[in-house]
Amino acid sequence: MAIDRLRKHKIIKVIFDTSILLTPFEFSINIDFELEKLLGSFEAFIPTCVIEELKTLSEKTTGKKKRNANAALKLVEKYKTIECKHREPDKALIEIAKKLPKAIVATNDTELIQKLRSRNIPVIYLRGKNRFVLEGELR
């Protein structure tokens, strides 16, 4: 089973996209709990361009979107950041996942999911508003 194979790896690296960081505030999901259930131990990484995207959302939106972006910015404080020079988070996530051993990208962006699939990069996404699904194999 895919989950059993994953648990044999020491610590899995999960690279978060903006869309997945907004998930807890849109669907009342505890990201850490759900990922631990799926993967066992994991280490979360946030590219700096994703943080910049959250800041832009926080500054340029209103209402619920603004609140969710602000909450996501608080959430990312507990995760490790990866410095990147990208202006486009999708490219950063793909490049970082290729370079980082035992890395999985977590996203809800359907276009990015397709790009990751085409490059055989493992991806985690939300299914049915209440659970994460893993697709692909760790390298």
pLDDT, one tens digit per residue, over 4-59 is 554 555 689 999 999 999 999 999 999 999 999 999 999 999 999 999 999 999 99
> Using an 8 Å Cβ cutoff, are 16 and 44 in contact?
yes
Q: What pLDDT is recorded for position 129?
A: 83
- Domains of the chain, by residue range, sit at 2-135
Between the two ends of the chain, the Cα-to-Cα distance in Å is 16
What percent of the chain has a predicted confidence (pLDDT) above 70?
92
Residue 105 pLDDT greater than 60, yes or no: yes
**Cα separation, 49 vs 62, whole angstroms:** 21
Top-tier CATH class for 2-135: alpha beta
Output the pLDDT for position 137: 85
Whole-model pTM: value is 0.89
